[in-house]
A and B are shown apart, each in its own frame.
Chain A
Amino acid sequence: MNGSRAVLTRPHLVLTLAALVVAAALPFTVKNFILFQLTLAMVYAIAILGLNLLTGFNGQFSLGHSAFFAIGAYTAAIMMDRLGIAYYWTLPAAGVACFGFGFLFGLPALRLEGIYLALATFALAVATPQILKSTPLEPWTGGVQGIVILKPDAPFGLPLSSDQWLYYLTLAVVIVMFAGAANLINSRSGRAIVAIRDNPIAARAMGIDISSYKSLTFGVSAFYTGVAGALGAIVIQFVAPDSFTFAFAIGLFVGLVVGGVGSIAGALFGGLFVLFVPNIAEQVSKGLAGAVYGVILILVIYLMPSGAAGLVRLVVSKFARTTARQN
């Protein structure tokens, strides 16, 4: 019922354009450090969107997206540091590599439902740091020490700082990928994907090839998170197994729910939440930061059970009803 279509009506379009204008102007009004944080929030938003495609729109529960984020990040780091390839090639490469991994993982996962799929993906999340640290792979991954990468400067000698350039790059990627996701959801494939979530038996009865769609969605979802991972690696300039623990997968999941399951725009809110709310919690109380974070989470779920997107939908529909009644 929720989030089955990405609607682009007139008010939506106006809002989106306004948001884009603000976003484009930001680098000239805020400090580099805030830009860095916003860039990171956008990176997480893309990762959350990937998770959303799988869990929100296709109903496959994943607790393991930290693994795809890690694969994307390490792909970028290895390409830049060990192979000397420029950073812009790492994004599509990371995406393709993750698509492959995601698709391959999706195949055996076809047999698993709900909790059992959660465990399988959680196994993936736990295994990834261990595999990254392991000795056979150490020459490539740098083992525990990780890999340090250089931050790229703005190309063509543009008068932008490194932070500003990365912000714009990330913003561009966000626009492209979010538009792509909206396109996907509105297409026939998108409807099939959602149908599989809502009622798999009926979907099969209608002739939808469940297995292919589920595996493909896994792949696409991993693609998105992988690209986010590559971007993240470039922005932070460092990858290490400790950056991609199970706790990170949980963080992405929290961002998904808080933003709104099955909402594309909600992923942005999720990304901002995941980045900024722990900082807010820390400011409230150093010793009890975790407890404050937990309380905030509970309040958020209480006030917005369907996430930020759900709240927006509620407000908009109430507003629409009152205007309709007045007319």
Chain B
Amino acid sequence: MELFVHQVLAGLSTGGIYACMALAIVMIYQAIDQLNFAQGEMAMFSTFIAWQFLQWGLPYWPAFILTVAVSFVGGVVIEQVVFKPLKSAPVLSHIVVFIALFAILNSGAGFIWDYSIKSFPTPFGTTPLFGTGLISSHDAGMIAMTVILLLLLFVFFRYTRIGLAMRATAANPDSARLVGIRVGWMIALGWGMAAAIGAVAGMMIAPVVFLEPNMMLSILLYGFAGAVVGGLTSPFGAVVGGFLVGVIENLAGTFIPYVGRELKFTIALTLIVAVLTVRPSGLFGRVVVTRV
């Protein structure tokens, strides 16, 4: 029983990482209606930029804010330079461009900062909570940060005019244009916000897994899984989904005999696919009905 509790706690702690990532993924999905395969690499690159600021002597929080700002600008630039010219290309081609972006960011980070692991500081300290050390103050801080982001996003989309405009653009770009919304700007804004959220995620995650160019690939995949099971249209669902994936994976690895340890991720994914067959839009997603 005690092991069960421990694994759940450990799962929540890792799940916090996935939830953070899943939020960033859903954010950009809401803005551009596509899954950004390069989201993880963008987050990783931002974290390296933050690390560089810290190396140059900036204290933590100024470096943090500066990185978020730089990432926001970077996201907008990427959208304008890479994706805008390709707007009319078919959907599948867009995905290839995401893959290209992934390769460029990964290779670039490795070239500039090399592949050895670097430690990244946490502003929350690492004191163990609940007396177990399974969840530390950093984990709690990371979860708190994720929840704050979630709330900010909720308020932004629901109660501000720009948020409403973005939602309109994502739902129906043509109609949005007709009512006077600058669709191009909305998409750029979406990219910037996604990049900024990704930067926050990266800076929360790096203290746990150590900073190196390949740190985000597996987390991106887990984040995808979490976002999809939670429902790609629901940021809240994405966060829940992230936690779910973390806990399920730990429990599967510990308690399923013989193959559990080797096939943890497979089992978690199978469960997710099973969930999807029952609820095709995810646990909290809205079912989209198209008129013929």
Contacts and interface: CB of A to CB of B under 8 A. Distances in A.
In the complex they form, whether A and B have CB atoms below 8 Å apart is answered with yes
A297 B92 contact: no
A294 B108 CA distance: 11
Q: Using C-beta atoms within 8 Å of the partner chain, give the interface range for chain B.
A: 35 or more
A118 B269 CA distance: 12
A119 B102 contact: no
B106 A290 contact: yes
B140 interface: no
B172 interface: no
A113 to B, nearest CB: 7
A112 interface: yes
Nearest to B271: A123
Contacts of B276: 111-112, 116, 119-120
B57 to A, nearest CB: 28
Interface in A131-147: 131, 133-136
A116 B228 CA distance: 7
B99 A302 contact: no
Interface string B269-289: 110110011001110000000
Given A288-B107, A302-B86, A118 B35 contact: yes
B96 A136 contact: no
Contacts of A298: 82, 97, 100-101
B163 to A, nearest CB: 23
Interface stretch (B1-9, B125-133, B197-205, B257-265): B257-265
Contacts of B272: 119, 123
Nearest to B259: A134
A180 interface: no
A126 B269 contact: yes
A241 to B, nearest CB: 11
A93 to B, nearest CB: 25
B243 interface: no
A127 B276 CA distance: 17
A6 interface: no
Nearest to A120: B273
Interface string B128-153: 00000000000000000000000000
B89 A116 contact: no
A111 B274 CA distance: 11
Given A119-B224, A261-B90, A305-B86, A131 B277 contact: no
A252 B93 CA distance: 13
B166 interface: no
A301 B91 CA distance: 11
B85 A302 contact: yes
B256 interface: no
B263 A131 contact: yes
A123 B96 contact: no
Contact of B266 (A115, A126, A250, A256): A126
B52 to A, nearest CB: 18
Contact of B262 (A123, A130, A246, A256): A130
A287 B110 CA distance: 8
Interface residues of A, number: 45
A305 B292 contact: no
A65 to B, nearest CB: 14
B58 interface: no
Nearest to B228: A119
A224 interface: no
Contacts of B99: 250, 253-254, 294, 297
Given A126-B221, A298-B100, A112 B277 contact: yes
A55 interface: yes
Contacts of B263: 127, 130-131, 134
Contact of B273 (A123, A135, A288, A293): A123
Contacts of A118: 35
Contacts of A108: 273, 277
Given A113-B280, A115-B232, A295-B104, A135 B35 contact: no
Nearest to A111: B277
A291 B111 contact: yes
Interface string A262-306: 000000000000000000000000011111111101100110011
Contacts of B225: 119, 123
Contact of B93 (A115, A126, A201, A257): A257
A131 B90 contact: no
A288 to B, nearest CB: 5
A112 to B, nearest CB: 6
Contact of A301 (B89, B110, B258): B89
Nearest to A110: B277
Contacts of B103: 290-291, 293-294, 297
B265 to A, nearest CB: 6
B160 interface: no
17 contacts: A119-B225, A123-B269, A126-B265, A130-B263, A131-B266, A133-B262, A287-B111, A290-B103, A291-B111, A297-B96, A297-B100, A301-B93, A301-B96, A302-B86, A305-B88, A305-B90, A306-B89
Closest 3 CB pairs of A and B: A290-B107, A294-B103, A123-B269
